[in-house]
Amino acid sequence: MIREAIILAGGLGTRLRSVVPELPACMAPVLAKPFIGYVVDHLYKQGVLRFIFSLGYKSALLEQYLNTQYSNLDIVFSSEEEPLGTGGAVKLACPLLRDGDVFVVNGDSFFKIDLQKLGQFHQSRQADCTLSLRKLRNFDRYGAVQLGEDNRIQAFQERGFYREGLINGGVYALQAENFGSLPLPHKFSFETDYLKQEAGKQAIYGLVQDGYFIDIGIPEEYELAQTELILHL
């Protein structure tokens, strides 16, 4: 079982500035609790024992909240001196890990998946990376993921309108040593520069799960979380 998680919590939250002007997206309050608290609670209930938080924008706010509310957890901070992109943030955090495999999670989205199932699938395939995928209908906010019969990722399709498809749910199981050995730049996107470029080269798999999913990165979804999230915890 994978027991460590990197939580990407350094984003600027630019698209939420109209409703949450002074906070990173993951600290936006949902029912008077920072959104990232729900993410941490879910990971802990699923068996994660060590948390590496990748921090950037207004990191002091996150550190204060986590140190106060989660003082009983094993928490480590990985702080960017400059924005590194999602891939650069993961790469910076990897040397802090104790094990070879780690969950990687976005701090501003919530996907209620079975982490043990994800971890077991990932390790049974000796995968470099395994994505948690979610089936959606009538969507245009996300790109679609093409999955082969053996669950290997075949391709990532560009954002557009899809009547039905699989999306990347933003929860990964990653073989950190293999990832760290790749000749990746200092600043890069995990999704674009790693997943899209390495699909077909590395052992990158997808596992479909049907748990509740929400991404609060835009005001409409953030407002929806105020009434919907509590029903799915």
The pLDDT tens digits of the residues spanning 178-188 come to: 999 999 999 99
For residues 46 and 115, the answer to whether their CB atoms sit within 8 Å is yes
Q: How far apart are CA 219 and CA 79, in angstroms?
A: 27
- DSSP assignment of 167-212 equals EEEEEEEEEHHHHHTS---SS--IIIIIIIHHBTTB-EEEEE--S-
List the beta bridge partners of residue 174: 102, 129
The pLDDT mean for the chain works out to: 94
Q: How far apart are CA 109 and CA 71, in angstroms?
A: 23
Burial (Cβ within 10 Å: 0-12, 13-18, ≥19) of residue 146: middle
Q: Which amino acid is at 228?
A: E
pLDDT at site 23: 86
Q: In the chain, what percentage of residues exceed pLDDT 90?
A: 86
pTM over 0.85: yes
Domain formed by 4-133+168-232, architecture = Alpha-Beta Complex (3.90)
Q: Which residue, chain included where needed, has tokens 């207004």?
A: 58
- The 3-state DSSP class for residue 63 equals helix
Q: Map out the domains of the chain as residue ranges.
A: 4-133+168-232
Sign of the dihedral through C-alpha 93, 94, 98, 99 = positive
- Give the CA count within 13 Å in the CB-facing half-sphere of 229: 25
Element of type H or E holding 163? strand 162-175
pLDDT at site 122: 98
Per-residue pLDDT of 1-47, as tens digits, reads: 899 999 999 877 677 878 877 888 899 999 999 999 999 999 999 99
In the structure encoding, which two tokens stand for residue 75, read together?
């928490």
pLDDT at site 10: 86
For residues 142 and 219, the answer to whether their CB atoms sit within 8 Å is no
pLDDT at site 13: 67
DSSP class of 3: -
In the chain, which stretches have pLDDT less than 50? none
